[in-house]
Structure 1
Amino acid sequence: MARTPVLAAGGIVLRRDAPQRFAVVRLRKRNEWVLPKGKLDDGETPRAAAEREVLEETGHDVEVHEFLGTLVYDSGGRSKVVHYWRMDAGGKPVRALMSDIREVDWLPFDAALERLSRGYERAFLENVGPIALQAAADAERERRARLRVAAAERRRARLVEEEPGVDTTANPEAPTAAEVPAIAEASVVAEASVVTEVTVDAETPVVADAPAPAEAAVMAETSHIAGAPAADASEASPSSARGIEPIAAAVRPVPRKNLIERVRDWLRRAA
């Protein structure tokens, strides 16, 4: 009858260094260098056991990340099944090593492979070690990106405190609240000048009650035919005794009349 396998859990533990270093521990009884791991307690999950065993064997608090794989081997006539997770260790130890562990060492990847005493653990680390290193590098980039975002948020918060009303979601090159009034005033002046220019070009000032020069000639010719006295050129001039209305009145819209109506009006005034 097959014996029940022994269940254990551990970690591929990295510490942030340059280069990053792997944890290997030295057993007190056998004087072997192994990966940190241990058996599950009753009712304990493999993940919880992995975190606890790594803390006891390395003395470091760890963050547990993705699952890396399972190593199965024969131990004392029984199969031993060990589940491993990638872990990040804190900067300094927080407790003493457990009695079964003589020491812990932190080594670069190649040195850790050479230090391990058991061939199956070397083979396992050789396969999952690069995966752990890549995952740790990706996590570090994400951490730095989050720090940059947090710093940008703090800068926006300070800007809002110093200058309330500033739209911090806009382009960083957008004007600040202090610059907005000056820009608005300049815009109003520019718009006013454009409107004035358009108005002057579109509405030529008209002298009140005075026919345009071209029409005056036609009126004179018509009155001559009708037997009326010819119109004095001075009446068609803006400087005549009839006078010119102020510029404000000249700009006032004047109803447009056809030539016959203007001639009739002029004849009535001349009678």
Structure 2
Amino acid sequence: MARAPVLAAGGIVLRQAEPPLIAVVRLRKRNEWVLPKGRLDDGETARDAAEREVLEETGHDVCVHEFLGTLVYESGGRSKIVHYWRMETSGEQAYELMDDVRAVDWLPLDAAVERLSRSYERAFLEHVGPLALAAAALSRVSRPARAKKQPAAEKRQRRQVVAPPAALPAPVSTPPQPDLRPLASGQDQRPLVDSDGVEVETSAATMAPEVVAPSAEEIEISAATIVSPVEETQSGDHAIAATTEVRRINLVQKVRQWLRRAA
């Protein structure tokens, strides 16, 4: 009667380095270098058994990833079926090794293949080792990079908001206001032109003649000129009265012209 096969589970355990390293363990009983693995306990799943056995034989906490394959071989007159998962560890050894393990070594893929004592494990690792390395590299690339925490002081500096400088008001040029005062009668309103034929800008001071108010003495003299001849006309001198009337008219015209210019 055929005996039932032995079920076991283990891992291709990687540690991040350049190049990545693979764990191989040295058994105390036969002094052989093998991949970390072990038998399933009653009611235990193959995946849980693989994680437990790797922790006991390497002393490292591991993270279990995808399934890599199954290795079947003859051992002690019985078939042995071993399922392997890709695993990774990033820390140092956390636990003591089990009694059956003498040492643990971390080697690059090619050196790990050469270190294994059993030919069927060398063939298996040579076949699935590159797949494990490629999967690990792909997972590191696709893993979102975590933002580094910034110091509190730097955060406060970045939160400070600098107010923009107040904009200075632009100077507004006031257009010159035209002189709306009426020109004196008889004044020429044509623009001034220099000797080269260029029009010269004229101001109110240039266009409007200066008006000087008569002094008090001038007004008194004018009044005397008006009044005194009138008194002489009362004596009957007709010629002097006519002359006085002409002077009065001339004086009235001058006063009117002065008032018109002052306006």
TM-score, length-scaled by structure 2: 0.61
Alignment of 1:72-221 (within 5 A): 72-140=72-140, 146=145, 149-151=147-149, 154=150, 158-162=153-157, 164=159, 166=160, 177-178=161-162, 180-182=163-165, 185=166, 188-189=167-168, 192-193=169-170, 196=172, 204-207=175-178, 209=180
Moved more, 26-35 or 50-59: 26-35
* Distance in structure 2 (CA, Å) of the matches to 1:43 and 1:237: 115
SS in 2 for 1:132: helix
Q: Identity of paired residues, percent?
A: 58
AA in 1 matched with 2:178:
V
Corresponding position of 2:13: 13
Q: Which runs of 5+ in 2 are unaligned?
A: 192-200, 210-263
Aligned counterpart, 2:246? none
Q: What's the RMSD between the two structures over aligned residues?
A: 3.8
- Alignment deviations for residues 141-195 of structure 1 (CA, whole Å, 9 cap, x no partner): 567x735x224xx26x64442353x5xxxxxxxxxx23x323xx2xx23xx43x8
Larger Rg over CA atoms: 2
Aligned to 2:82, the other structure's residue is in SS state strand
- Indicate the SS of the match to 1:82: strand
Note the C-alpha offset of 1:54: 0.6
SS at match of 1:47: helix
Residues matched between the structures, number: 201
Task: Provide the residue aligned with 1:64 in structure 2.
Answer: 64
Task: Tell me the alpha carbon deviations over residues 42-87 of structure 1, each in whole angstroms, 9 at most, x when there is no partner.
Answer: 2222222111101111122222223222222333444332221222
Write out aligned runs for 1:236-247 (5 A).
238-239=203-204, 240-241=207-208
Q: Measure, in 2, the Cα distance between the counterparts of 1:21 and 1:48.
A: 23
- Unmatched runs of 5 consecutive residues or more in structure 1: 167-176, 217-228, 243-271
Q: 1:233 aligns with which of 189, 199, 202?
A: 189
Distance 1:8 1:208, change over 3 A: farther
Normalized per residue, which structure has more helix? 1
Shift in Å, 1:10: 0.8
